[in-house]
Amino acid sequence: MDIKYFIQPAFLLLTVTLLTPPAGRYLFRVFEGKIKIPGFIKAAETLIYRICGIRQDEEMNWKTYLWSVLAFNFAGMMLLFLLQIFQNLLPLNPQGFGSVPWDLAFNTAVSFVTNTNWQAYAGETTMSYAVQMSGLAVQNFLSAATGITVILALSRGITSRKSENLGNFWKDLVRSVLYILIPGSVIVSVLLMGQGVIQNFSQYLNVTTLEGISQTIPMGPAASQVAIKMLGTNGGGFFNSNSAHPFENPTPFSNFIEMFCILIIPAALTYAYGLKAGSKKEGWIIFGVMMFLLVSGFAVSIFSELSYNPALNTASLLEGKELRFGTVNSVLFSTITTDVSCGAVNAMHSSLSPLAGMVALVNIMLGEIIFGGVGSGLYGMLIFIFITVFIAGLMVGRTPEYLGKKIEALEIKMAIIAVLIQSAVILMFTAAASVLTQGTSSALNSGPHGFSEILYTFSSAVGNNGSAFAGLNANTVFYNILTGIAMLVGRFGVIIPVMVIAGNLGKKNISPVSAGTFRTDNYVFALLLTGVILIVGALTFFPALCLGPIAEHILMGQGVLF
List the one residue from 390, 458, 469, 479 that touches another protein (CB under 8 A): 390
Q: Which residues are paired to 217 by β-bridges?
A: 205
111-to-98, 383, 521 alpha-carbon distances in Å = 20, 23, 36
Q: Which stretch binds another protein (CB under 8 A): 109-117, 330-338, 352-360, 413-421?
A: 413-421
> Which residues have CB under 8 Å from 140's CB, separation 6+?
112, 117, 225, 228, 229, 232, 234, 236
Residue 171 or 405: the one with the smaller Cβ distance to another protein is: 405
**With CB under 8 A as the contact rule, which of the stretches 78-86, 215-223, 231-239, 449-457 interacts with another protein?**
449-457
Site residues for another protein, window 453-492 (CB under 8 A)?
Answer: 454
Q: Are the beta carbons of 435 and 451 closer than 8 angstroms? A: no
**Does residue number 450 form part of the binding site for another protein (CB under 8 A)?**
yes
* CB nearer to another protein: pick between 205 and 396: 396
Q: What are phi and psi of 313, to 5 degrees?
A: 55, 45
Taking every pair of Cα atoms in the chain, the longest distance, rounded to a whole number of angstroms, is: 78
CA distance 309 to 285: 37
By CB under 8 A, residue 437 contacts another protein: no
The reply to whether 312 sits near another protein by the rule CB under 8 A is no
Query: Which of 398, 476, 477, 485 is close enough to bind another protein by CB under 8 A?
Result: 398
Stretch that binds another protein, among 5-13, 170-178, 273-281, 412-420 (CB under 8 A): 412-420
Residue choice 35, 187, 408, 475 for contact with another protein (CB under 8 A): 408
**If binding is defined by CB under 8 A, does position 323 make contact with another protein?**
no
Contact with another protein (CB under 8 A): which of 109, 447, 467, 495? 447
Question: Least Å distance between CB 436 and another protein?
Answer: 9
Name the percent of the chain in helix, strand, coil, to the closest 5.
65, 5, 30
311 binds another protein (CB under 8 A): no
H or E element at residue 185:
helix 182-195
396 counts as binding another protein under rule CB under 8 A: yes
Nearer to another protein, 190 or 395 (CB): 395
CA nearest to 375, candidates 151, 153, 97, 540: 151
Site for another protein in 254-293 (CB under 8 A): none
383 belongs to the binding site for another protein (CB under 8 A):
no
Shortest CB 147 distance to another protein, Å: 24
> Are 335 and 301 a contacting pair, CB within 8 Å?
yes
Among 159, 430, 457, 467, binds another protein (CB under 8 A): 430
543 binds another protein (CB under 8 A): yes
Q: Give the amino acid at 79.
A: L
Residue of 199, 292, 404, 481 interacting with another protein (CB under 8 A)? 404
x-marked contacts with another protein along 17-46 as a string, rule CB under 8 A: ------------------------------
Rounded CA gap, 555 and 562, in Å?
A: 9
Backbone φ, ψ for residue 399 (5° rounding): -60, 125
Pick the piece of the chain touching another protein (CB under 8 A) from 129-137, 274-282, 366-374, 418-426: 418-426
Q: Could you say which residues in the range 501-520 bind another protein, by CB under 8 A?
A: 509-512, 514-519
Q: Cβ distance 419 to 383 under 8 Å?
A: yes
Segment 153-192, which members bind another protein (CB under 8 A)?
161
Q: Report if residue 395 touches another protein, rule: CB under 8 A.
A: yes
Question: First-to-last CA distance in the chain?
Answer: 26
- The residue (of 185 and 452) whose beta carbon lies closer to another protein is 452
**Residue 133 touching another protein (CB under 8 A):** no
What is the phi/psi pair of residue 402, to 5°? -125, 120
Q: Indicate whether 392 belongs to the interface with another protein (CB under 8 A).
A: yes
**Which residue in 35, 37, 412, 481 binds another protein (CB under 8 A)?**
412
For the bound state, the minimum distance from the C-beta of residue 455 to another protein, rounded and expressed in Å, comes to 8
- Phi first, then psi: give them for residue 309, nearest 5 degrees: -105, 105
Give the C-alpha separation, 181 to 189, whole Å: 12
CB of 368 to another protein, least distance (A): 17
| Exposure of 360 in the CB half-sphere (CA atoms within 13 A) | 41
Of 321, 281, 35, 276, give the one whose Cα is nearest residue 176: 35
Q: Please identify, among the stretches 312-320, 335-343, 494-502, 534-542, the one whose residues bind another protein according to the rule CB under 8 A.
A: 534-542
Number of other residues whose CB lies within 10 A of the CB of residue 391: 14
Minimum distance, C-beta of residue 454 to another protein, in the bound complex (Å): 8
Q: Which of 485, 272, 500, 525 is nearest to 391 (CA)?
A: 525
